[in-house]
A = this chain, B = another copy of it.
Amino acid sequence: MATTGSNGRGGKSQGETRAPGVKDVAALAGVSLGTVSNVLNRPDRVNVQTKARVEAAMAELGFVRNESARQLRAGRSNALAYIMLDASNPFFTDVAHGIELAAEAHDLSLFTCNSSNRAERETVYLSRLEEQRVQGILITPVNPDAEALDELPWRGTPVVIVDRTRSANTHCSVAVDDVLGGELAVSHLIELGHDHIAYIGGPNTLGQVRDRRRGAQKALADAGLGPDNLIDITTDALTVEEGRKAGERIAGRPASNRPTSAFCANDMLALGLLQQCVALRMAVPDDLAIVGYDDIDFAAAAAVPLTSVRQPRRELGRRAAELLLAETTDPSHEHEQVVFTPELVVRGSTRM
């Protein structure tokens, strides 16, 4: 680790004069405060030549508008925030991208925070953002039923819940039909002739894990199969590592009672499972067919491309942002629970 240096002039060029403000610009341009402000905020209301003079002064001084002061006066900022649950899961970065597009369209900034699945980080960010007077907060919460989420809207900062649903109808939310998703996945496996299907997912405290299992059970029932045909393999988290462990558990079963296919509650698990299959020389899909969930880009890029349940990630984010903006503008707002429909994408991991 090498290191070299130089420079020395920390900040400003000379006698450390403090940052120029509208006042300085006004003085230099020979106009009043109000006029400078008009140039900034209602350029059409000021004479072209005056405007040019003011702009020249700004450039000369290197004027940078002080957003704090502007905000103080305005009462609110022009930013949205998204508190994402796990920045290392591509699913969420894609959702964030959708939000960003919507924010950009409305000329708002988006600040992204990452709770890394820790409730206490989430709390810190929530209150910091509230103090910043952001226009609203989008969040995929660690626990969707946490009461902390009720306070902010009550005090005036709208909150929209993303990719989670809540028992009480207290917020707008955007989610995807997880029961249907599970149904699609398992119906597909049944059609391929599988009747020993593993469901890999956990922990069961996650509503999504439960919903996707329910969908799987429904598909079995609809096909005249019993709940015993679904072999539950519960994991500690939805990670690649846990997927690998699940693979070991499957391989460890006696051949008579070994599933011929697996439905994973997300793609991270599925990728881990796939990797373990290769390591253990189980052929995919011949020895074990695999269906994932989320259809992240890496799923299609796996060595055996993964069949997966696609969620409209971008659209999820975009719609959430729009709900938020609607809530900020419309005072007589009715909370809306938007539910998108998932879609099965069939690839090599189930097709021979």
Q: Which of A185-193, A208-216, A226-234, A296-304 contacts B (4 or more CB under 8 A)?
A: A296-304
* Bound-complex Cα distance A340 to B67 (A): 37
Which residues on B sit within 8 Å (CB–CB) of A341?
1
Copies in the complex: 2
In the assembled complex, A147 has its CB within 8 A of some CB on chain B: no
Contacts of A3 in B (CB 8 A): 336-339
A87 at the interface (CB under 8 A from B): yes
Let me know if A114 and B97 touch, CB within 8 A. yes
Which residues of chain B have C-beta atoms less than 8 A from A100's C-beta?
114, 116
Q: A23 in the interface, Cβ–Cβ < 8 Å?
A: no
Which A319-352 residues sit within 8 Å CB-CB of chain B?
Answer: 327, 330-341
Q: Report B-chain residues with C-beta under 8 Å of the C-beta of A5.
A: 334-337
Question: Is A51 among interface residues, defined by CB-CB distance under 8 A?
Answer: no
Give every chain B residue within 8 A of A274 (Cβ-Cβ): 303
Interface residues on A, range: 35 or more
A6 part of interface (Cβ distance < 8 Å): yes
B96 touches A114 (CB 8 A): yes
Interface residues of A in 122-181 (CB under 8 A from B): 125, 127-128, 130-133, 151, 153-156, 169-170
The residue on B at minimum CB distance from A301 is B240
With A19-B155, A278-B304 given, is the CB distance from A4 to B68 under 8 Å?
no
Q: Which of A28-36, A104-112, A197-205, A252-260 contacts B (4 or more CB under 8 A)?
A: A104-112
Q: Is A64 in contact with chain B by the CB < 8 A criterion?
A: yes
- A337 and B67 CA atoms in complex are apart in Å by 32
Is there an interface contact between B77 and A88, defined as CB atoms closer than 8 Å? no
Mark contacts of A57-95 with chain B using CB atoms, 8 A cut-off: 1 yes-contact digit, 0 otherwise.
000001011111101100001000000000110100110
Assembled-state Cα–Cα distance A281/B219 (Å): 35
Find out whether the CB atom of B72 lies under 8 angstroms from the CB atom of A338.
no
Report yes or no: A93 in contact with B97, Cβ–Cβ below 8 A: no
Check: A305 CB closer than 8 A to any chain B CB. yes
Considering the chains assembled together, what is the distance between the CA atoms of A113 and B96 in angstroms?
10
Min CB–CB distance A269 → chain B (angstroms): 11
Contact B7 A334 (CB under 8 A): yes
Q: Is the CB of B275 within 8 A of A302?
A: yes
Which chain B residues lie closer than 8 Å to A331 at the CB level? 10-11
Closest CB in chain B relative to A246 CB, distance in Å: 13
Q: Which residue of B lies closest to A112 (CB)?
A: B112
* Whole-angstrom CA separation of A7 from B235 in the bound complex: 37
Given contacts A1-B341, A88-B97, A111-B113, 19 further A-B contacts (CB under 8 A): A1-B340, A5-B334, A5-B336, A6-B335, A7-B169, A8-B334, A11-B156, A12-B156, A19-B155, A64-B127, A67-B131, A67-B133, A90-B90, A109-B113, A110-B113, A112-B112, A112-B113, A275-B305, A303-B303
29 pairs across A/B with beta carbons < 8 Å? Answer: A1-B340, A4-B336, A5-B336, A6-B169, A7-B334, A8-B332, A8-B333, A8-B334, A10-B333, A11-B153, A12-B154, A12-B156, A19-B155, A64-B155, A68-B68, A69-B72, A87-B93, A88-B90, A88-B94, A88-B97, A88-B297, A93-B93, A96-B114, A100-B116, A109-B128, A110-B113, A274-B303, A278-B303, A302-B303
